[in-house]
Amino acid sequence: MLRAISPGRTPLAEYDSGVLWAALLLLTLGIVMVYSASIAMAEASKFTAGRPAYFLQRHAIFLAASVLGGMLAFQVPVRLWQQTAPLLFALGVVLLVVLLLPGFGREINGARRWLSLGIANLQPSEFMKLFVILYSADYTVRKLALMHSFRRGLLPIFGVMLVVGWLLLREPDFGAFVVITAIATGILFLGGMNARWFAGLVVMMAAGFAGLVLSSPYRMQRIFGFMDPWSDPFGRGYQLSHALIAFGRGEWFGVGLGGSVEKLLYLPEAHTDFLLAVIAEELGFAGVIAVIALFLWLVMRAFAIGRQAVALERPYPALVAQGIGLWLGVQAFINMGVNMGVLPTKGLTLPLMSFGGSGLLANCVALAVLMRIDWENRQLMRGAHA
């Protein structure tokens, strides 16, 4: 009927192809660069039995499982995500507690962040980021009329988030703590938090972060190493100095795929936390800009989908969509800032690209939820037009 009235009007697409293509490009570039960044380490490690494709094979398996997980998550109505949000959040808290129990958590590089599942390790903090989005959005919608009240509206969720933060800092996982705090605070602000309370909260968080840094010699070293990595290039500034060398060698268009020198056991965590430095060295400034543009596009689309949900009077999907945009944007920004030397070193991977099964699965499920929100928006718009 609509087409008969307006034959020149473009039919509404089934889904946001821009989100899908940006995600696919990041995932594809990620698997290529993980292989390139990990070959030298895989060949030199006894753990991998000297197999150069060890990390590529595992990343490919993780990626296939993550895409399948995303496809399954897309089938779940947003209504069901909202109904199960408190249970999923509680599950995340339980996993963080189990992680700290003797004999359960697996310690790697001095941090207890993984649960061993035999064939792979599970990192609960990655899934907690998604669970916090789902729960914070649900809480905000339920308490919408109380968002102006600190005691009745904000204090309960602050208490819950303090517990989550304490568990994360016990691992320790300061990077995940920062991201989850940013997500929860951002969702509360978008949901109508009083501006004065928000300003006070920002000041409190800044003071809290400063206190956490000053109370930990380990974090103090990272801060000072970030401020002047060349003062101790073989100690606290080692990672950052080699990351900066990688950026310098890449110049405009890089030294060519596979041509990185820094990945030859000079740059630690080249296939995880410092993947962007390898991209900068091999693909140059052009490659880095392309990665930044793809993440920027994803964040913009997430907020646009959220605004569309608001226009359709769907507050919960709107907050979830924008929360996912916050997550991807904040974590990518921090990882890129660390690689470029403008932020202190933290153990945060580059979403959708770095090696790691838990991160990939959580990211793909989050994007599937985002696309489901968009799909439901479009179904409602079709009904409204009809």
Q: What is the pLDDT of residues 234-287, one digit of tens each?
A: 777 788 889 999 999 999 999 999 999 999 989 988 999 999 999 999 999 999
How confident is the model over 312-367, as pLDDT tens digits?
A: 999 999 999 999 999 999 999 999 999 998 888 777 899 999 998 999 999 999 99
DSSP 151: I
Percent of the chain whose predicted confidence (pLDDT) is above 90: 59
> Is the pTM value of this prediction over 0.85?
yes
Find the angle CA(177)-CA(179)-CA(78) to the nearest 5 degrees. Answer: 115
CA separation for the pair 203, 72 (Å, rounded): 41
How many whole angstroms separate alpha carbon 219 and alpha carbon 251? Answer: 31
Name the most confidently modeled range: 8-22, 93-107, 315-329: 315-329
Helix pair 155-170, 78-100: axis angle to 10 deg: 40
